[in-house]
Amino acid sequence: MDRLDNTVRPYAWGSTTAIPTLLGTEPTGEPQAEMWMGAHPGAPSRTDRGTLADIVAADPDKELGPASVARFGPRLPFLLKLLAAGAPLSLQVHPDLAQAKEGYEDEERRGVPLDAPHRNYKDANHKPELICALTEFDGLCGFRAPTETADLLDGLGVASLKPYVDLLRAHPEDAALREVLTAVLTADPEEMSRTVAETAAACERLGGAYAPYAGIAHHYPGDPGVLAALLLNHVRLQPGEALYLGAGIPHAYLDGLGVEIMANSDNVLRCGLTPKHVDVPELLRIVRFEPGDPGVLRPEASPDGEEVYDTPIDEFRLSRYVLPEGAAPHDLTLPAPQILLCTAGAVRAGEHDLTPGRSVFVPAGEKAEVSGNGTLFRATVRV
């Protein structure tokens, strides 16, 4: 079992206080957006044996287990993060596995450099993800029913929104959503900037259901992503609740601290709320234009105290243990790799004492006994 020393990424949207507060460290005044736990080449965790990426590469079967290697290849299939949003992230979608492979091979064939700002596909993997709230957590997830969005936009009293309102009341729903998103992202920039400004002022004035979108517009004035965001469900998670984000589902995180787990990929198609490249044709190929409820997840408890966040993919499995003081130790040994993360209290994992924000890597098959009085998240795979 290896104690992990993890990199904190200073993305501009990050909170300046949430991660330091959890870790019990002094804020630096700079944003601290994500703390990465895993073997992603961008920021692999460090251990006394070297980086986790180097450890896995040296002996995949030993560290990951033969079943994981056979199923997912000789790399850790997931990336675990603490995510602390102090401002909205970019509105985005992720491809499915077939789309990622096709897109990556196409850009490789065309010689698009991996670090090019207009590159869409950094790898050939999909990127399903799960966010579990540690504090109240605001986000956008999936399309609202078009007629409900039409009513919402109509209520703003902005004349330039009338064409979008009319489109949203047309049928079928998927075609209506596609037409509106296409129109928003391809509109004349000056006209769109004016529409967004008027929309933002109306949202600010009316408050209530419009308040989250006023906040988004404050951070991204004039960005067409503000109107794209108005097409989506706003959701507020309470601590312990989660959202699963599958392929093609537009989403954005707005504010709060959470534990995030995803397949080990960096493939993102952006819809707005960003100065980065927005590839509209490719985005429209990937987005699933299906309205629906965000589907808030609550953990399902098992008799041994494990609370599992059930998702339909195999590259990761996230669960938590809320350990009461004086309880018997839990044996978490598995024939698969694990990362254990403490988020509250004090937990003993093998020979390691974990306080909030501290984590360990457990190689496949290694004895993993935990005890203490606190909350422990367990990240692993299904094999």
Which tokens go with 247? Answer: 């392929």
Instruction: Pick the closest to residue 267 from 283, 256, 254 (CA basis).
Output: 283
Q: Are 259 and 200 in contact (CB under 8 A)?
A: no
Give yes or no: 270 in active site: yes
Beta bridge pairs of residue 14:
85
Which residue is catalytic, options 3, 144, 270, 358? 270
H or E element that contains 296: none
Instruction: Pick the closest to residue 172 from 150, 146, 149 (CA basis).
Output: 146
* Euclidean distance between CA atoms 273 and 44, whole angstroms: 28
Helices and strands in the chain: count of H runs, count of E runs:
12, 21
CA–CA–CA angle 216, 220, 226 (5° rounding): 55
Q: Are 234 and 138 in contact (CB under 8 A)?
A: yes
The helix/strand/coil state of 149 is: helix
Query: How large is the angle between the packed helices 211-219 and 189-206, nearest 10 degrees?
Result: 140
| In 87-178, beta strands by DSSP E | 91-93, 129-133, 137-143
Which tokens go with 277? Answer: 């490249």
* Euclidean distance between CA atoms 314 and 271, whole angstroms: 27
Contacts with 240 (C-beta within 8 Å, 6 or more apart), sequence order: 132, 133, 298, 299, 320
Rg (CA), the chain: 22
CA–CA–CA angle 208, 212, 213 (5° rounding): 105
Looking at residue 291, the DSSP 8-state letter turns out to be: B
Active site residues: 270
